[in-house]
């Protein structure tokens, strides 16, 4: 009984990240304009990029759920979160409001938290 509970609890971080990715995917698809300002002006086709980002987040969430795809999906997710770090730095540096957050210190806190997401995704390689 105790081992079964521990085995179930070990999956909480895994499913937690899958839920976060799925939620982000939904937001990207339903409210893409909330992300427009986070993308520098030199980047073309912002709405298309946001749309495909939402799709990618759903695919990553699904890949984490299934054991056979989890190792490589966690590596891809780690890479994806690492690619997002410059976006978060851009948002923080220029104090671009995101989801009602205007305080630059909070934006930098969210940027720092991206490192937690990177480590979290990396840790799921062997779950």
Q: What is the domain partition of the chain in residue ranges?
A: 2-126
Backbone angles phi, psi at 32, to 5 degrees: -65, -25
Torsion of CA 50, 52, 58, 61, to 10 degrees: -90
- Alpha-carbon span 108 to 88, nearest angstrom: 8
* pLDDT tens digits, one per residue of 97-108: 999 999 999 999
Q: Which residues of the chain have pLDDT under 50?
A: 6
In this predicted structure, what is the pLDDT of residue 4?
A: 60
Count Cβ neighbours within 10 Å for each residue of 10-20 and write b for 16 or more, e otherwise: eeeebeebbee
Nearest CA-CA partner of 104 in 86, 88, 92: 92
Q: Look at residue 85 in the predicted model and tell me its pLDDT.
A: 97
pLDDT of residue 122: 96
Report pLDDT for 12.
82
């Amino acid at each position: 009984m105790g081992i079964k509970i521990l085995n179930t609890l070990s999956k909480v971080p895994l499913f937690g990240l899958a839920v976060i990715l799925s939620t982000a995917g939904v937001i990207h698809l339903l409210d893409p304009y909330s992300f427009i300002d986070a993308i520098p002006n030199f980047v073309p086709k912002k709405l298309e990029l946001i749309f495909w980002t939402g799709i990618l987040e759903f695919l990553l969430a699904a890949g984490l759920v299934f054991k056979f795809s989890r190792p490589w999906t966690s590596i891809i997710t780690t890479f994806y979160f690492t690619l997002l770090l410059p976006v978060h730095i851009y948002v923080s540096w220029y104090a671009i409001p995101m989801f009602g957050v205007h305080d630059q210190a909070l934006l930098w806190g969210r940027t720092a938290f991206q490192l937690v997401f990177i480590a979290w995704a990396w840790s799921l390689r062997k779950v």
